[in-house]
Structure 1
C-alpha cells in the first residue's frame, strides 16, 4: 500500500543533481535571452538595433518592468535552485548516506559555489547593492541589501575556496546533469579561476592591490587555455531545450532586431571578416549596413543577425577564452601583475581566439591584426581604447559582459541615441518597482545610499566617466 500511495511525479526529496542542471539551464537562459522583457544587454552593448519598437534601445526600463523580470530570473529561477542543491549536498556529505565518496560531493559543492558566485556577481554588476546574506530565505520577505563591494569580497573568497577544493581527477555532477562541462572538474576549476580573473580585473581601478592579489592567484591556479574551455552550454535542436535566441528570432515569427550601425560601422572600417559570421549578407555579398541605434529600423533594408544565431542549438556562453586573453592583455598593460607575455601578445591571442570561436582561421586573424588600425603598436588610443574596443568586438552576443567592459574601461564605441529616455547611457539598472512595494525600507535605504535609484549611479568598480 505504501508503494501504491507514493506519488512518483512529486518525490518527497528533490535530487540535487536535477536542481543543479536546472540552475545551470536557467543561468544560461537568463544571460542568453534576447527578450526585451528581461534581457536588453545586446541592445545596451549596441550590437543590435530594433525595428518597430525601439524603447529598449532608448534605454526605457520601465514599460516592460525589465529590472523585475531580470531580478526574478536570477534569484528565483537560478540562485534558488543552486542554493537548495547546495543545502541537500551538504546534508548528503554530513550524513554519509548518499553512497557517494566525499570527494565527489565536495566537487559538487565547488561547482555549486562557483555558480552561486557567478549569479551574485551578475546581480551586483547590474544593480549594485542587493540582498545577499538574507536572500533566498522564504521566511524573510524583507531581506536587507548588502554592500556591493562586500558581496564581491565574499563571492571572490567563496570561489577561491571552491576552486582550490576541486579534485580535477575525480568526477562531480553526472555528465547528463552538467550541461556545461559534463562533470569534468578540471574544466570547472579553470572556469572558477577564469571567473576570478574577471572579478579581479573589475577591482583594478577601485582597489589595485586587491586586484593584483586576486588575479595573480587565479592565473597561478590555471585559467582557460583554448575555446574548448569556454563556459558554454550547447542547446538541443528540439523544443523545449532550444536556445532562447532561437525562440525569439525564429519561433516568435517576429522581426524585431537588426545589426546596429554602432557595431557594423566599426567592423566595416576595420574590414573585419567576422562580419560574415556575426551577420547575414541579406543586402548582397560583402555588404553590411546597420540600423540606426535607438531608432525604428526597416528589417529588410538593414543587415540582419547572422544565421548561426538563428539555430536552435546555438550555444550560450558565460565566459570565453577570448575574454581571458584580453583580461591578461589588460593586466600586462597596467603592470604589476604576474602575467606572462606582453599586452600585445595577449591582445593578439584574444583576437585569434575570437576568430576561432566564430569559425575563422588563424590566417584570417593574422591578416586582420596586421592592419595599422588593429595592430597593437599602431592602433589609435591608449591601452584602454585598444584592448577595450577589440574585447567589445570579440564579446559579440555576450551583451552583459560587453556592456560591463564598456562601463569599466570607458573606451570610445557606444553612442547615445538621439531620442533616448535617459540622460545618458545607463550604468546600472534601477531596482524593481516591486521591491519598493514589498521591501520598502531596505529598497529606500539602498537607493539613498547611492544618491538615488538612478541609472546614472555607477557600480562601485566603475570609477571613470564614460567617453562618448
Structure 2
C-alpha cells in the first residue's frame, strides 16, 4: 500500500514507540514505554513497520553470504565470513516481539481478534527470522519482565511455537472482532483476507525449511499454498516515503556519496549476463547499476575493488530502480517466492505442478519488476529456462528463486539447505580460516547477549548448523 499523509501522521506515533519501546528482558527493572498503556493501534504501526525493517536488517547481513553483494574493500569481514556481532538485528527482533506480545495480550482483553491474529503472524515472522540465523533463542522466559537472564529454547521447539502462532493467528483473523485493522496496518491497510493469505504463505515458507527433517509433509505445504497468495497484489510489503526512505535506497545514495556499500557480487552479475548461463536475463539492468562505461561488472567477494579502484568502475546498487527508489517497498513475502516454494514442495509428488509453479515464479518476479512482455517471452523461450518437465531439476528452482529473492534474507536459508550449490558460486577470497574451507552456517550470538546472559548463551561455531540444516 502507498502511505498517505494520514499514515505519515500515524508514522510519527510509531516512531515514538520505536524509540521508546520496552526492552523486555533487556531491562527488567525499567519499562520506559509502559506498553501496558500503549494503544493497540500504535503497537500495530510499530509492529508492521519494524517487522519489514527487520527483513532489511537481516537481508543486509546475508547479502554477502549469498553473493548478491560484495565489499569493495579487500578481506572485509562481511565477505570473508568472519564472526560479526549483530547486536542491532538481535535487539530489534526482540524489541518488536516485545511490543507484539503486548499487542496480543491487549487485543485479547479488548476482543480485538484481528489485531491479535495479525500480531501473532508477525511474532511468527520475527521469531522465525531470528531462529533461522541464530538457532536457539530465549523466548518462553523473555517477555514476562521477571529475569534479565532468560533460558534458551531449542531451535526446533521454537519452530513449534512459530507454527502455533500462525495457526492461532489464522483462527483469530477468521473470528469476529471488536476493532478492525485499518491505516495503522502498514502492510495490508487492514485487509484481513490478505493477512490470512500471508499467514498461510509463512506456514509454507517455514515448512519448506524442514524438507530434510523427520515429519516433513509436502502435502501440508501445498495445502497452505492453496490458501495463500494468488498474485503480486497479495505481496506482503511496506512502502516507504520521503520522510523515511527505503533502506536499500539509502545504501545506493550513500554509495553515490562515496560512503561505499551496495557493490554487486561478480557471481550475481555473471549469473544474469550470459556468463554462467548462456541466456541473458532482462532483469539485470532493472536490479543493479551499470558501470560508467555502461557495462555490468561485479566485485569478487573477499577480493575488493582490485584493479578498478575508481567509483563507477564496478556495478553497484543505484537509486531509482525497483529495489532502490526512495519509495520502494521492503518486500516481506512475495507471490514469486511462494511459487518457488510450491515448485520445490511439489517436485517429488507432482512434477507437472512443480514445473508450472517454477515458470509462474519467474513470470511473477518479472512482472513485479515491469519487464516488458516481449522480453519475458524471449527469456521463457530459451530452452535453458523452459527446459520441459522431463529435463527440469531442483537446481532450476533454486537458481531462479535466488534471482527472484534479490536482497531478501530467505535466500540464505535456501543457500544453506542447498549447500551453496549455485552454479559457479565459489568461496570468497581471503576466507575466514576458522571455516576450514567451508561456507558459514549461522551467526554468532551478539556481544550484547554474551555479556548480559552469558551463562545461558549456547557455545557455537560458525559451522554449527541450525536444526533444519542437515548434512
Question: Cα deviation per residue 1:235-269 (whole Å; 9 max; x = unaligned)?
Answer: 0122xx22222333325732323211010011112
Cα distance change, pair 227–172 in 1 and its aligned pair in 2 (3 A): farther
- Residues 1:45 and 2:69 are matched in the alignment: no
Of 187, 195, 200 in structure 1, the residue corresponding to residue 194 of structure 2 is 187
Q: Secondary structure at the match of 2:110?
A: helix
1:284, CA displacement in angstroms? Answer: 4.0
- Residues 1:406 and 2:382 are matched in the alignment: no
Contact 1:354 1:394 in 2 (8 A): yes
**Structure 2 match to 1:245:** 248
1:346, CA displacement in angstroms? Answer: 0.6
Contact 2:251 2:262 in 1 (8 A): no
Of 225, 231, 249 in structure 2, the residue corresponding to residue 226 of structure 1 is 231
Contact 2:358 2:397 in 1 (8 A): yes
Question: Cα deviation per residue 1:60-115 (whole Å; 9 max; x = unaligned)?
Answer: 233xx22x221111112x1112112222212222xxxxxxxxxxx11111100000
Question: Cα deviation per residue 1:168-217 (whole Å; 9 max; x = unaligned)?
Answer: 9989654221111000000000000001011111111112x443364144
- Residues 1:266 and 2:271 are matched in the alignment: yes
**Structure 2 match to 1:75:** 94
**Structure 1 match to 2:174:** 167
RMSD: 2.6
Q: Secondary structure at the match of 2:64?
A: helix
Of 107, 123, 126 in structure 2, the residue corresponding to residue 119 of structure 1 is 126
Alignment of 1:320-335 (within 5 A): 320-335=334-349
Contact 2:120 2:166 in 1 (8 A): yes
- Residues 1:26 and 2:38 are matched in the alignment: no
Alignment of 1:370-389 (within 5 A): 370-377=381-388, 383-389=393-399
TM-score normalised by structure 2 residue count: 0.83
Size of the aligned set, in residue pairs, is 422
1:120, CA displacement in angstroms? Answer: 0.7
**Structure 2 match to 1:90:** 108
Question: Cα deviation per residue 1:105-162 (whole Å; 9 max; x = unaligned)?
Answer: 1111110000001111111100111111112233211111111111111211220222
**Structure 2 match to 1:397:** 407
**Which of 162-171 and 312-321 deviates more?**
162-171
Structure 2's unaligned 5+ residue stretches are 1-12, 17-32
2: CA distance, partners of 1:415 / 1:106: 49
1:324, CA displacement in angstroms? Answer: 0.4
Contact 2:113 2:175 in 1 (8 A): no
Question: Cα deviation per residue 1:1-21 (whole Å; 9 max; x = unaligned)?
Answer: xxxxxxx99999211111121
Cα distance change, pair 172–425 in 1 and its aligned pair in 2 (3 A): farther
Contact 1:134 1:143 in 2 (8 A): yes
Q: Secondary structure at the match of 1:84?
A: helix
Q: Secondary structure at the match of 1:386?
A: helix
Cα distance change, pair 256–379 in 1 and its aligned pair in 2 (3 A): farther
Q: Secondary structure at the match of 2:282?
A: coil
1:341, CA displacement in angstroms? Answer: 5.1
Cα distance change, pair 356–21 in 1 and its aligned pair in 2 (3 A): same
TM-score normalised by structure 1 residue count: 0.84
